């Protein structure tokens, strides 16, 4: 069983977990269809700042994502997430991955569950899910929350969409319809250094949330990013795209928001279908 943990299951889980947390970032979803962006008098910087401010009151969101994750390749999926309490349910497909369907990821009660398909059952004595208990794994030197892609699981996932506020060259591209919603398209470049500097005037809570978001990109080796942001008539982000060069290749992710502040319920998979990684490692060490 130990070989299964350290083999394909571990690699798939780590990759899926990283993508999950990376793709979990974002702002808010669509609102009304009868408005076409912000007031003409609002500057691009002010429009982006206003949309960023509106992310602070998000309690839940649902979104669709597509793009390229460094080291993993092309990914796509859809997710629902609750901020308080923190919970997430995501179904994600990685192009070229040898599975018989999407990988499902659930984050609930400070544990991450990955699996839900027959491939997992083949490697884990019929179990279809593997559980990563973040607190239990903290004692292991080789595997921890950061390596599993869950190191930022306690942050507000709306923070990534606010990165454009740190741009020194943000500009208005034009008006576009995205997901059936009229939006204003903005674009700019941001560096991790500028983003950190832009946090000095934020509240402690907002600063901590955005710093946690930045940590993931620093670990990936990304120093700067090009960012596009589509804002609807209610000053909420409908969609955003982030591109940058990481140590393991290019990142290019687009997040489309479907709705927000609606009830999200996530439940843990049945215990009978779940293999606990912490218990598996204990058994391997003792046996």
Statement: 2-286 belongs to CATH 3.30.2350.10: no
The Cβ-side half-sphere exposure at 84, using a 13 Å CA radius, reads: 5
When the pLDDT of each residue in the chain is averaged and rounded to a whole number, the result is: 77
Which sequence spans correspond to the domains of the chain?
2-286
Identify each DSSP E strand in the chain by its residue range.
60-69, 73-82, 87-94, 103-108, 111-115, 129-133, 171-178, 181-191, 224-232, 237-246, 249-260, 274-276
**For the chain, how long is the longest CA-to-CA vector?**
70
pLDDT score for 205: 74
Reference 158, options 68, 75, 56; nearest CA is 56
Strand partners, 60: 82
pLDDT tens across 228-274, in order? 999 999 999 999 999 999 999 999 999 999 998 999 999 999 999 89
Asked if the model's pLDDT at residue 168 lies above 70, the reply is: yes
Q: Give mean pLDDT, residues 193-204.
A: 81
């Amino acid at each position: 069983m130990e070989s299964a943990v350290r083999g394909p299951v571990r690699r798939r889980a780590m990759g899926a977990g990283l993508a999950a947390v990376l793709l979990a970032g974002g702002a808010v979803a669509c609102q009304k269809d009868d408005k076409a962006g912000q007031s003409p008098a609002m500057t691009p910087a002010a429009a982006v700042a206003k949309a960023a401010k509106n992310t602070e009151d998000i309690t839940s969101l649902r979104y669709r994502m597509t793009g390229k994750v460094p080291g993993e390749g092309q990914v796509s999926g859809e997710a629902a997430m609750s901020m308080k309490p923190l919970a997430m349910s995501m179904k994600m497909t990685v192009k070229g991955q040898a599975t018989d369907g999407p990988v499902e990821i659930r984050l609930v009660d400070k544990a991450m569950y990955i699996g839900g398909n027959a491939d997992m059952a083949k490697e884990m004595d019929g179990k279809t899910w593997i559980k990563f208990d973040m607190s239990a794994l903290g004692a292991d030197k080789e595997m921890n929350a950061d390596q599993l892609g869950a190191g930022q699981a306690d942050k507000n996932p709306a923070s990534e969409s606010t990165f454009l506020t740190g741009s020194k060259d943000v500009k208005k591209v034009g008006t576009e319809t995205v997901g059936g919603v009229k939006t204003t398209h903005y674009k700019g470049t941001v560096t991790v250094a500028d983003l950190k500097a832009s946090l000095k005037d934020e509240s402690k809570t907002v600063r901590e949330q955005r710093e946690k978001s930045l940590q993931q990109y620093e670990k990936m080796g990304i120093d700067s990013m090009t960012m596009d942001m589509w804002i609807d008539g209610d000053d909420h982000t409908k969609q955003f795209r982030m591109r940058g060069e990481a140590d393991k290749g290019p990142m290019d992710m687009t997040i489309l928001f479907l709705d927000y502040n609606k009830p999200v319920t996530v439940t843990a998979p049945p215990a009978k279908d779940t293999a606990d990684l912490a218990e598996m490692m204990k058994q391997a060490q003792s046996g």
